[in-house]
Amino acid sequence: MTVRDALNSALDEEMSADPKVFLMGEEVGEYQGAYKISKGLLDKYGPERVLDTPITEAGFTGIGVGAAYHGLKPVIEFMTFNFSMQAIDHIINSAAKSNYMSAGQISVPIVFRGPNGAAAGVGAQHSHCYASWYASCPGLKVLSPYSSEDARGLLKAAIRDPDPVVFLENELLYGETFPVSAEVLDSSFCVPIGKAKIEREGKDVTITAFSKMVGYALKAAEILAKEGISAEVINLRSIRPLDRDTINASVRKTNRLVTVEEGFPQHGVGAEICASVVEESFGYLDAPVERIAGADVPMPYAANLERLAVPQVEDIVRAAKRACYRSVPMAAAA
């Protein structure tokens, strides 16, 4: 099943199960979704539940939040999360904080979803990763699926969750196919929020990743295996709440950690994971934590520059080797 079909079927089933769920965003209806994620939903559920909006992220996000205040369950689609910047006040100040500020009187069961992070050749304003932006805010839950199983299970969980959820997809993953079990295809399937998944078990080094980078980490693990390094790949699935228990348990087993993300390094997801591991498992670390992140520059466009600005499989392999003392550390003092 492709990730696109996984998301589409999850939306379909949740809209079918609960009449309060509705989809809103630019091009989600007649156009079948800018990335065709909402294909067929307008015909099936009608324009009341699949709303094509005017071009105003601030507007439709605010309206979605208001509808959620009053008991509907909106799914707000951003054409990309870059455009959510125009709506971030509503996401943070109107959605994330409302349950707290109102002492539980106003709950906001809303989902904000859309593609996040780098695509291919779309430049700086279409390639930003917002995982750490949203994950820093209490009151939000932030999820990022990798496989079709993740996409289905996490989106269903997000729609059912009473808290506001930011759901970070990836454009390049939409077309990828993953095997899915019968359990995943069942309409009640759900993946728990806040639990990471160990995609590949290993004993020498822990590699954490989310979204597209999970695929890269798995490829890196294959390469490392040939060189005798057994890497454990953790698919975070949930950026907030972060599954610190799984990560720390893994590091206590392997004693080495490489964090991988596409976004900018400063104050990123890897920084938080590193801090968590240092706080809770310092004695277990046999090497400094290696952080692989996107280059600290706005995303360039030229294909060669773009390739250099985004983590590649080779970067992950070399980082794992450094963590295992198989090659010289990058910041090696003389």
Catalytic residue among 14, 26, 77, 126: 126
The minimum distance between CB 274 and other proteins, in angstroms, equals 17
Residue whose CB is less far from other proteins, 102 or 177 = 102
Q: How far is the CB of 100 from other proteins (least distance, A)?
A: 5
Sheet containing 21-25: which strands, arranged edge to edge?
50-52, 21-25, 73-77, 111-115, 165-169, 141-143, 238-240
- Whole-number minimum distance, CB 52 to other proteins, in Å? 8
How far is Cα 182 from Cα 119, in angstroms, rounded to an integer? Answer: 31
Q: Which residues bind other proteins (CB under 8 A)?
A: 15-16, 19, 22, 30, 44-49, 51-54, 56, 58-72, 74, 89-90, 93-94, 98-107, 138-139, 141, 161-163, 194, 241, 244
Q: Are 40 and 1 in contact (CB under 8 A)?
A: no
Cβ proximity to other proteins: between 106 and 287 the closer is 106
Q: Select 42 or 214, whichever has its Cβ closest to other proteins.
A: 42
What burial class does residue 312 get, using C-beta atoms within 10 Å of its C-beta: 0-12 exposed, 13-18 middle, 19+ buried? middle
Tokens describing residue 311: 């983590």
Q: Report the distance separating Cα 202 and Cα 185, nearest Å.
A: 29
Residue 279 to residue 273: CA distance in whole angstroms:
10
Beta bridge partners of 293: none
Give the distance, in angstroms, between the CA of residue 157 and the centroid of all CA atoms in the same chain.
14
| Least distance (Å) between residue 90 CB and other proteins | 6
Closest residue by Cα to residue 106 from 92, 119, 96, 116 = 96
Determine whether 57 is an active site residue. Answer: yes
- Smallest distance from the beta carbon of 19 to other proteins, in angstroms? 6
Nearer to other proteins, 278 or 330 (CB): 278
Of the chain, the end-to-end C-alpha distance in Å amounts to 51
| Residues 182, 217 contacting (CB under 8 angstroms) | no
What is the rounded CA–CA span in Å between residue 202 and residue 220?
A: 13
Cα 251 to chain centroid distance, Å, stands at 22
d(C-alpha 143, C-alpha 240), whole Å: 7
Q: Per-residue DSSP letters for 248-300?
A: HHHHHHH--EEEE-SS-STT-HHHHHHHHHHHHHGGG-SSPPEEE---SSPPP
Using the minimum distance from each CB to other proteins, give the nearer residue, 65 or 157. Answer: 65
Of 26, 57, 272, 290, the active-site residue reads 57
Residue with tokens 């160990």, as numbered in its chain = 198
176 counts as catalytic = no
3, 37 contact by CB (below 8 A): no
| Smallest gap from residue 45 Cβ to other proteins (A) | 6
Q: How far is the CB of 51 from other proteins (least distance, A)?
A: 7
State which residue, 41 or 323, has the beta carbon closest to other proteins: 41
**Between residues 131 and 292, which has the closer beta carbon with respect to other proteins?**
131
Catalytic residue annotation: 57, 126
